[in-house]
């Protein structure tokens, strides 16, 4: 009886050791959650955990919520989505007149959108021109690292007339200090690192999504990118207003989040196709 018990104890010990070893060799998937606790303000905007950040999450409290003006003739309506929208009814969005979409692919170097395939492929399949965006967290890793992560998880580009260049979503930090603890010059260097890496891999200059307030505060209103990278400006108001960084014009304007993030391309369909084709 003693030998049976001893054998069982040894077996159990080996089993527990095996489990412990497996746990030790498994990446700590909670690491990003521990270091990315949303601020109380972010939680008020539906950001409950790492990866929940989305375009314009703080716009409702920093800009007017006035309705947008009637679209000019030379414009194209679109939307942007993230995991918050889940599986999107793309046929319905097409019927509502939306002709392009940007889909969140990644955040930092730790998160991929679980709905990306449905959203990215679904918008394409109904006829929309679509692109992917990356929510930057510059305090986590280099711009090159995050651009590489983005490219590896849906952020690529192809000259098929239906794929927009990737977009860098650089805005308020939902997990801490507004400017991610970086000086203005360090932030500009981080952005340049991301943009250069993306262009070296794809041949395209990424779109930059931002807003006047954040860009002014966190980059010193840098003019470093206004002749190379298309501007996607966020302002929930009746007009795009003063543009950040000396950009002479905006390419896309995010003007509302109701009932879903609403975007307007500054040009007609042929110009949208031209942007896709590069």
Q: Would you state the pLDDT for residue 46?
A: 83
Geometric angle at alpha carbon 146, from 263 and 221, rounded to 5°? 60
Catalytic residue among 52, 80, 107, 213: 80
Q: Would you state the pLDDT for residue 24?
A: 34
- The average confidence (pLDDT) of the chain is 87
pLDDT tens string 28-59: 445 466 689 988 888 878 888 999 888 876 87
- Residue 4 reports pLDDT greater than 60: no
* pTM: predicted TM-score of the whole model, two decimal places: 0.83
Q: How many independent structural domains does the chain possess? A: 2
Looking at the structure, tell me whether residues 19 and 144 fall in a common domain.
no
Catalytic residue among 107, 169, 213, 261: 169
Looking at the structure, tell me whether residues 151 and 29 fall in a common domain.
no
Q: What residues contact 117, with CB distance under 8 A and at least 6 apart?
A: none
Looking at the structure, tell me whether residues 27 and 42 fall in a common domain.
no
- Residue 16 reports pLDDT greater than 70: no
Looking at the structure, tell me whether residues 110 and 24 fall in a common domain.
no
Looking at the structure, tell me whether residues 11 and 114 fall in a common domain.
no
Containing structural domain, residue 6: 2-33
- Residue 65 reports pLDDT greater than 50: no
Mean pLDDT along residues 97-115: 98
Q: 182-215 b/e with 16+ CB inside 10 Å = b?
A: beeeebbbbbebbbebbbebbebbbbbbbbbbbb
Looking at the structure, tell me whether residues 167 and 246 fall in a common domain.
yes
Output the domain CATH number for residue 120.
3.20.20.80
Q: Is 263 assigned a catalytic role?
A: no
pLDDT tens string 131-182: 999 999 999 999 999 999 999 999 999 999 999 999 999 999 999 999 999 9
Looking at the structure, tell me whether residues 7 and 93 fall in a common domain.
no
| Joined tokens for residue 233 | 């400006």
To the nearest whole percent, how much of the chain has pLDDT over 70? Answer: 82
Looking at the structure, tell me whether residues 19 and 112 fall in a common domain.
no
Q: Would you state the pLDDT for residue 70?
A: 58
Q: Is 169 assigned a catalytic role?
A: yes
Catalytic residue among 52, 107, 171, 213: 171
- Asked if 62 and 75 count as a contact pair (C-beta separation under 8 A), the reply is no
Looking at the structure, tell me whether residues 159 and 22 fall in a common domain.
no
Lowest mean pLDDT among 70-74, 100-104, 179-183: 70-74
Report how far residue 43's alpha carbon sits from residue 51's, in angstroms, rounded to the nearest whole number: 13
Give the other-Cβ count within 10 Å of 242's Cβ. Answer: 9
């Amino acid at each position: 009886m003693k030998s049976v018990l001893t054998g069982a104890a040894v077996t159990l010990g080996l089993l527990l050791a095996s489990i412990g070893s497996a746990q030790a060799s498994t990446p700590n998937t909670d690491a990003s959650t521990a270091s990315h606790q949303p601020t109380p303000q972010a939680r008020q905007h539906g950001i409950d955990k790492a990866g929940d950040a989305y375009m314009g999450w703080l716009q409702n409290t920093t800009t007017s919520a006035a309705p947008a003006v009637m679209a000019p003739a030379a414009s194209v309506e679109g939307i942007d989505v993230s995991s918050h929208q889940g599986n999107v009814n793309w046929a319905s969005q097409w019927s509502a007149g939306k002709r392009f979409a940007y889909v969140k692919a990644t955040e930092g170097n730790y998160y991929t959108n679980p709905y990306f395939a449905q959203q990215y492929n679904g918008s394409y399949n109904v006829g929309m021109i679509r692109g992917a965006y990356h929510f930057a967290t510059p305090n986590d890793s280099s711009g090159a690292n995050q651009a590489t992560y983005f490219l590896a998880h849906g952020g690529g580009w192809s000259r098929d007339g239906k794929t927009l260049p990737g977009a860098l979503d650089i805005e308020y930090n939902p997990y801490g200090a507004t400017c991610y603890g970086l000086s203005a010059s360090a932030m500009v260097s981080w952005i340049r690192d991301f943009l250069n890496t993306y262009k070296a891999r794809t041949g395209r200059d990424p779109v930059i999504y931002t807003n006047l307030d954040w860009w002014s505060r966190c980059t010193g209103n840098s003019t470093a990118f206004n002749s190379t990278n298309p501007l996607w400006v966020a302002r929930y108001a009746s007009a795009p207003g003063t543009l950040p960084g000396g950009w002479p014009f905006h390419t896309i304007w995010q003007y509302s989040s109701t009932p879903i993030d609403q975007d307007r391309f500054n040009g007609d369909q042929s110009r949208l196709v031209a942007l896709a084709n590069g």
